[in-house]
Each structure stands twice: as C-alpha cells, then as structure tokens.
Amino acid sequence: MGGGADRPGERFEGRGRRLRFLGRLGLVFGGGIRLLAAAVLALVVVLAGFLLANAWPAIVRFGPGFLSGTIWGDQPGGPFGAWPAIAGTLLTSALALLFAVPIGLGVALFASELAPRWLRAPLAYFVDLGAAIPSIVYGFWAIAVLVPFLGDTVEPGLSRLTHGRWPFAGPTTGGDLLAASVVLAIMIVPTIAALSREALRAVPRELREGALGVGANRWEATRLAVLGPAAPGIAGSIVLGLGRALGETIAVAMVFGGVYEAPTSLFSRGATIPSWLVTQFLNPLPGLDLNALYELATILLAVSIVLNVGARLLIRRLEAPRRSRRGARWRTAPTVVRVPAGTDSFAAPAWWPRIAERGRARRRWRAVVQGLVLALVVGAVLLAAYPLASLIETTAVHGGVAVVRPSFYTSTPPPSCGIGQTNCPLGGVGPEIEGTLVMLGLAALIAIPVGLLVGVYISEYRQSRLARATSLVTDVLVGVPTILLGVFVFAVVHTYDQTIEASAIAGAAALGLLMVPIVTRATEVALRTVPASVREGALALGFPRHRVTLRVVLGSCRPALVTGNLLAVMRAGGETAALLLTAGTSGLWMTSLTSQTGALSTFIWTAFESYSSPNYTTDAWGAALVLLLMMAVVSLAARLALRSPGGPGSV
C-alpha cells in the first residue's frame, strides 16, 4: 500500500508523492467501506428493532397463547391467535416441497447429466426464467387456469374416487390448500432445479470419468460419483425452495381463499402467515390491531432466521466427508476383512467365472434401470414444463391484445366496467410503467453501489468480526420473505407518522432493501472465485490495495457481478407484496415521490381484486406479459454476460 514511497529516489520524487496520495486514498476507501458495512448492519438491526418494538405490546398482552389461538378477532383487543396461519404456512410449504423436490431434482439431473447436450443450454434458460417470473404472474395465471382446472376436474375426480374421505373431504372449489401447495410447488421447482443443477455441474469431470472407467453407465456414474459431492448444494437448494415457499405471499393470497382457519383437508380454504399479513395490512378487519400483525410478522422473521441458520449448519455437516462405508449406517462395527489364503496370486477367485458369465444379462438389466431413471426424469421435466408453458401461453394470448396497442403504454388505467357492459373504455398502464421505472431506478441507484462495496468489504476483510457479522446478516436477509421487507419499512414510516400514506420513496426503500443483500452476496461469491494469484500479481506490480481490489479483482469477475446485479433487478422488478405495503397503488401519473405510486406488479393485484372488470383484466394480462418479457430479456442478458470472456484480459 504505497510502500514504494518509503525511500523515493530523486527521479521518483513525483511518483512518490503520487503513491503517497494513492496510499492515503486507499485508507479512506478501506475506512469508507467498513463504515458502509457497519451502516448496513446497523440498519438491519434498527429495522428488526422497529418490528420488535411494534410487536412488543401484543407479545406482552397475548402471551404464548398467541401461538395456539385459533381466532383472529374483529374487535379491538382480540382475541388474536396465530395458529391457523402457522398451520396454513407449514402445510402449504410441506406439501409444496413434497411435490417440488422430486420434480426439481429430476429436472436438475436431466439438465446436467442425462439430457442430450444440445438440449442442456435451452433447458437451463427456461429453468432460470421459471425462477425469475414474479409471483404475481404465477398467481394471476393460477387464478385463471390452475384453480378452475383443479376445481372442475382434478378435485371432483379425487373426491369421487375416495368417496370424499380425508384428506379429500369438503366442497371442491379449486381455491384451497391443494391449489396453494401446487402453485407454490410450481414456483419453487425452478429454484430447486437451478441450484441443484449448479451443484451437479460443479462436480469435477474426473470423478464422473473415474466411475465410467470402472464400467459404470451414465446413471451409475451419477449415482456413484456425482450425487455425493453435490449433496450439500442440493440440500441448500431444497432449503432455499422451502424458504421461498414459507415466505411466498402474493400467489398464496390469491388462491388460498383467505379464510382464517387451520386447514383440515386438501380442499380447505385457509391462509398463511404472509398471505394473512398482506391482506390484513391492505384490507384490515374493523378491529385491526397492528401490534398483533407485527407479532405475526415477527414469527415469520424468526422462522426464516432459524431456517437460514439451520441450513448453514446442515450444509456444513453434509460437506464433511462421510466416515462410514456405504450401507454402514446400521453397521457400527468397523469392517474387518480376513484375507483368504493364496489371495496374493493373480489367479481369479473361484466365484469369478460365475460373475463374468452373468455379465451380459446383468449389463442389460443395468441398462433397463438406467432407462427407467431416464423415463422418470423426463417425466419430471414434462411435469415441470407443462405449467410453465401454460403460463407463458396464457399470458401471451391474453396480454398480447393489450401490448400491441400503443395507448397501453401511454394511458392511465381504465375506469372499471361491469360484467356484460359493452364498449368498455380502454386504458393502459403508463403510470405503472413510470412507477416501476422510478422506484426500481431509485432502488438500484443506491442498492447496487452499496451492495457492491459491502460485498467487497466482506470478502476483503473476511477475518474481521464486522465482516463476518455483515455476511451472516446478508445471508439471512437474502432469505427473508419480501413481505417482511415491506413490513419493516411500513413499521418505520408508521412509527413516525400515523397518517402518512404509502409513497414512491418508501417503495424504493423496500426494493433497495431487497436488492442490497442479493448484490452483496453475488459480489462476495464472485470475488471468492478470483484466484489469489491475480491479486498477488497485481500487488507485486506495486498497485495499491484498493486499486487492486477495485480494478483488477472486480474487473476479473465482472460477468458474475453483472449477473448478480441483473438478478437483483429482476427480483425487485417483479416484487409485489412489499410494494403493496409501502408504495400502495394509484392509477394516476406520478406527481411527487411522496405520494402513492403504482407499479406493474401491484397493478395486476388491483386487477385481481376487481377481477370482474374485463377491460382491467386485459390490461393486467398486458402488464403480466410486459413483466414476463422483461424477465426473459434480463435472464438472457444475465446468461450471456456469464458466457462473455471475462478474464483479466478484459480489465
């Protein structure tokens, strides 16, 4: 760090001064990013504090009975109980995992191991796209397609088959526990598939070849040499999928019926913690007790923290090499093998000819097993692809009508229009596009630099306690349900001013809060992949440390950084729940940053709430299509960025 300035020779006088200046700049930079990291950490603590402070009166008043209470009263003062929401959350998430884990793993296996090579890249792209589609679009599609399908076809069939016995009891409405679980499963399949695929692909080729080398076929090689090393990553993907399912708000709120009762059958209506939070914050029951809602939010926060920390521990355990032989889980005695006499000759043992003779039949049987696995895996891919294809098709067909009309981009939403009314006036989503761009822009303007610098800090000062704390908090924050980010901001705003309305500023703050941890994590991970030699090479040339970090190290992983930022923009661009709480909806052009502001995603929600108005619905499909196209383009860009040459040569 400017060490060259210690004893500058005469001729290097000017250079020495410059180096001293750079050295000082480096110190300022180091101090700056440390402060920034501390500020982010403090902000998160403060936000959690606000939430807790707001929940405290309820915690004191209702005590532990809050957890088991089954009623959400409509009188001030309660009673308030969280049990129906907790049960709904647990049941939907568990069922969603049950559906999604086999399918997601199947897709991952197909995409990384068994598919023909030409199919792998497009498949990976669609998986990424599926993970990027906003939940509001999934929800809107589910209402239009999935719920009628379940309610009219699947559920009556199941009910007939089982004579309405548990768990298929009750009226078949389609908007119930089964629908919520299926939507969640559809949404988390891409998450599980994408991350599991990464984990599978990260297994070195030599390991596969080692298995092929002893005569394994492709599936056996995967089983022997690939699944084990990929297990921690696969477990991580499942936990992430679970986190997403637990925190999913909008899609569940749309299809789960909104009834505050613990589900007793697959056909029960119900609510989850996030879905109840969003509906209560938006359309409070008369005796709204905000403190009880905050307590409910605190429970969700606690669950997501426990899940995150638990996942970390689980992955660390899985990463430690297994000490026992396969199948030794029930054999505790160490393997003792007595060597039969005469073994040291190279002659084949007596049983060898029998094995060799059976070789051909056995190989055929093994090929059949591989074929069965392939069939299962292809089945999983088709099951995963069908809803995605249906979603894209439905959105394109319904939304296509809207997006080809120029006024769609320039007009305000139409006045609502009753069923059967002809000549409904046409509108557009101009203000919503404006709102999305303004809030996303504001959020990105702050979150991207902050996220980058904090990421740099965490990876450069890995040893320090502050860096480790920031890293942990970032991890937790990435996994926090987005509705909670909205609740955080809502809590702060309301603590200071009970009358204040939602605003673009608050919306941008929530989106920023969503983006910072994603950018930070992406930066941290990208920097970790830069070999130490790149850094050392540059340091050896006498570059001061901050320049090495900023130019050389960041430069050499630029594609990964671009991808991380695009991912953050995508997540924020489709976010609905947090925006509903913080920015509200408006339908009018923006006049100031402190008034309610609509976005494309929240507009679709509004349309959902007034589903009967056909002109509105068409525009909502248009908004969904715009979001879908945005995700398609951005995830393509992210993919291309990763493929572009990003070596040190491009610094």
Q: Which is nearer to other proteins, 7 or 360 (CB)?
A: 360
Q: Which is nearer to other proteins, 6 or 206 (CB)?
A: 206
CB of 59 to other proteins, least distance (A): 45
If phi > 0 it is left, if psi is from -120 to 50 it is alpha, else beta; for residue 414 that is beta
> Coil, strand, or helix at residue 542?
coil
How many CB atoms lie under 10 A from the CB of residue 206? 9
> Coil, strand, or helix at residue 257?
strand
CB of 99 to other proteins, least distance (A): 28
Q: How many CA atoms lie within 13 A of 619 on its CB side?
A: 36
CB of 373 to other proteins, least distance (A): 15
Q: Which is nearer to other proteins, 208 or 521 (CB)?
A: 208
Q: Which is nearer to other proteins, 218 or 494 (CB)?
A: 218
Q: Which is nearer to other proteins, 17 or 358 (CB)?
A: 358
Peptide bond into 57 cis (omega under 30): no
Using the CB atoms, write b or e for 167-198: b if 16+ within 10 Å: ebebebbbbbbbbbbbbbbbbbbbbbbbbbbb
CA 474, 480, 486 angle in degrees (round to 5)?
A: 110
- Name residue 559's amino acid: P
Give the Å distances, CA to CA, from 415 to 216, 424, 554. 66, 9, 50
CB of 639 to other proteins, least distance (A): 18
Q: Which is nearer to other proteins, 212 or 466 (CB)?
A: 212
- Rule CB under 8 A: which residues touch other proteins? 117, 204, 206-217, 220, 224-225, 228-229, 231, 321-326, 328, 334-335, 337-340, 343-344, 346, 348-349, 351-352, 355, 358-360, 362-363, 366-367
End-to-end C-alpha distance for the chain, whole angstroms = 21
CB of 322 to other proteins, least distance (A): 5
C-alpha 174/C-alpha 179 separation (Å) is 6
CB of 369 to other proteins, least distance (A): 11
C-alpha 527/C-alpha 517 separation (Å) is 15
> Any residues with CB less than 8 A from the CB of 77 and at least 6 apart, and which?
287, 289
CB of 118 to other proteins, least distance (A): 10
Residue 107 CA to its chain's centroid (Å): 17
> Any residues with CB less than 8 A from the CB of 140 and at least 6 apart, and which?
254, 604, 607, 608, 620, 621, 624
Q: Which is nearer to other proteins, 196 or 304 (CB)?
A: 196
Q: Which is nearer to other proteins, 217 or 412 (CB)?
A: 217
CB of 638 to other proteins, least distance (A): 23
CB of 405 to other proteins, least distance (A): 46
Name the nearest CA neighbour of 537 among 524, 525, 553.
553
Residues β-bridged to residue 270: 257
CB of 492 to other proteins, least distance (A): 48
Q: Which is nearer to other proteins, 27 or 318 (CB)?
A: 318
Q: Which is nearer to other proteins, 15 or 643 (CB)?
A: 643
- The DSSP secondary structure of 476-495, one letter per residue, reads HHHHS-HHHHHHHHHHHHHH
